Chain A
Amino acid sequence: MTLPFLSIVELKSALIKGELSAREIAQQTLDRIEQSNPTINAWTAVTQDRMLSEADRIDRLRKEDRPLPALAAIPYAVKNLYDVAGHTTLAGASLFSDRQAAKNDSWAVRKLSESGALLSGMLNMDAYAYGFTTENSHYGATRNPHDLNRIAGGSSGGSAAAVASGLVPFSLGTDTNGSIRVPASLCGIFGLKPTFGRLARSGSQPFVASLDHIGPFARTTADLALVYDALQGRDPQDSFQAEKAIHPVHRLLEHGMEGLRCAVLGGYFQTWCDDNARAAVALAAKALDAQEEVEFPEAALARTAAFIITASEGGSAYLPELRAQPERFEPLSRERLLTGAMTPSAWYVKAQRFRYYFREQVLPLFEQFDVLIAPATPTSATLIGQETMRINDSELSIRASMGMLTQPISFLGLPVTTVPLQTPQGLPLGLQLIAAPFKEEACLRAAWALEKMGIAKAPVAKGLIK
């Protein structure tokens, strides 16, 4: 049996029925990556030996009739800022290419390995996770599988392209200001940025400790929820992790919109986007019976505060290397990082105080509504090399502004599921379904409902895999 574009549930079923062995799944995945990766430039390393060895372990369990773990024989890949034992953690930066290999897997990779998933390799990203386009000057641009002339979004662009191309059913990315939601939107797949502090980050290269999140990409809501469930658990090494009990959500998806109240997020979020994004919001709002519009007061200032925290923490972290080897920095990021390291501390402290204030203003909205709807990006994928986009009669830098609708939400730390819709021009465009802190279940159930109605869908990009 050849490997069609199966979901996690379908792959597991084929494995249990004996239609495919784990070894066959791994080998066919590796063959396809070898064939298609030169076109999209998503993988920066392929972990062939590890993948085959993980597959053989699953086949031994099958042979011995032992229970199979939740993600048995499911291929995946991770953004190249996750530690993978025996491999150098690049974080998209040539600066790190000669540092020692990681001794251990990151928390997330270890959890997925324990769940039986098969690691195929590591994926391209914006250097240091500082960008929204994955136009990496050292490792090359990752191409959008739906239109190879366009960006995949960033910073987790390789992670989104790997899933959108059909090469793996899921991947991991990270999101500081929108780095899961932006590429999910532009590549037309589902993405989950959980609540800040929900999933353990240890063993991943930090960028901005106050804002970094980890999370999965997939082509269905059910797959997204299965991976999210596998990633839950308490990690004593992660001091930023919230002390919350594990709350599996996959089995709850079928409740759909039962008891959920939705509203459209207006103001800033309806102003800074194009007509396609507004039409996508209107379509989802009608389907989810979202009749009211609410606003976040001072959303633009929230974006500014997120920007200042990012610049200051990210820049300060890289200051030793900016002093010691400035010539090895990505030219597009070096002066942005140095500017961040030089910002007055009063700006940073004000931004952190504003974060507290903003949360107190916004959280009461969730007493009236469970899910808020907003575009994930101001527009669909722009061309590789394009510098600016025209939004709200303003010429905006794509590199800085493709995440302007995601930044205020991650600043709040709210959980978001990104759902893929289509523009009339045929390009994908994602929406953010935003819930109250630690209510991942609500935004995933709303995503599941939109998928069941046929409004949100993530078809595999055509023509890449023969």
Chain B
Amino acid sequence: MTSSTDWALYIAQMEQILGVPLDEQRRAELLVQFSRIAGMAEPLMAFPLDERVEVAGVYKA
């Protein structure tokens, strides 16, 4: 996952998968939003965590 990822293609596929038909204006705005969050996610995804670190869940059976 790098900054060269084709987020427009990803958005087009998610539009189909989630069943959210979009027009060009909304796709353009989504691309702006997605590029921003992807840029933020990149260093988080690159940050090394020990494989045994679990999610901080609160579910209790």
Contact = CB atoms under 8 A, between A and B. Distances in A.
B19 A354 contact: no
Nearest to A335: B29
B49 A304 contact: no
Contacts of B40: 304, 307-308
Contact of B33 (A239, A301, A339): A339
Interface residues of B, number: 29
A403 B50 CA distance: 29
Contacts of A338: 20, 30, 33
Interface string A255-299: 000000000000000000000000000000000000000000010
B37 A354 contact: no
Interface in A301-330: 301, 304-305, 307-308, 311, 319, 322-323, 326
B44 A347 contact: yes
Interface of A is mostly: helix
A355 B60 contact: no
A388 interface: no
Contacts of B11: 342
Given A304-B43, A323-B19, A335 B54 contact: no
A301 B47 contact: yes
Interface residues of A, number: 35
B49 A305 contact: no
Given A322-B20, A353-B54, A356-B56, A305 B30 contact: no
A353 B51 CA distance: 10
Given A301-B43, A323-B18, A353 B53 contact: yes
A197 interface: yes
Given A304-B43, A341-B18, A342-B11, A352 B55 contact: yes
B45 A347 contact: yes
Interface in B4-44: 10-11, 14, 18-20, 26, 29-30, 32-34, 37, 40-41, 43-44
A352 B40 CA distance: 15
A343 B37 contact: yes
Nearest to A412: B56
Nearest to B42: A304
Nearest to B30: A335
Contact of B55 (A307, A326, A356): A356
A347 B1 CA distance: 11
Contacts of A240: 58
B33 A319 contact: no
Contacts of B57: 352
A346 interface: yes
A93 interface: no
A336 B33 contact: yes
Contacts of A305: 44
A304 B41 contact: yes
A308 B34 CA distance: 11
A452 interface: no
A195 to B, nearest CB: 13
Contacts of A322: 20
Contacts of B54: 353, 356
- Looking at B33, B49, B59, the one whose CB has the most chain A CB atoms below 10 A away is B33
B44 A304 contact: yes
Contact of A342 (B14, B59, B60): B14
A185 to B, nearest CB: 24
Interface of B: 10-11, 14, 18-20, 26, 29-30, 32-34, 37, 40-41, 43-45, 47, 49-50, 53-60
11 contacts: A298-B47, A304-B40, A304-B41, A305-B44, A334-B26, A335-B32, A339-B30, A350-B44, A352-B55, A352-B56, A356-B56
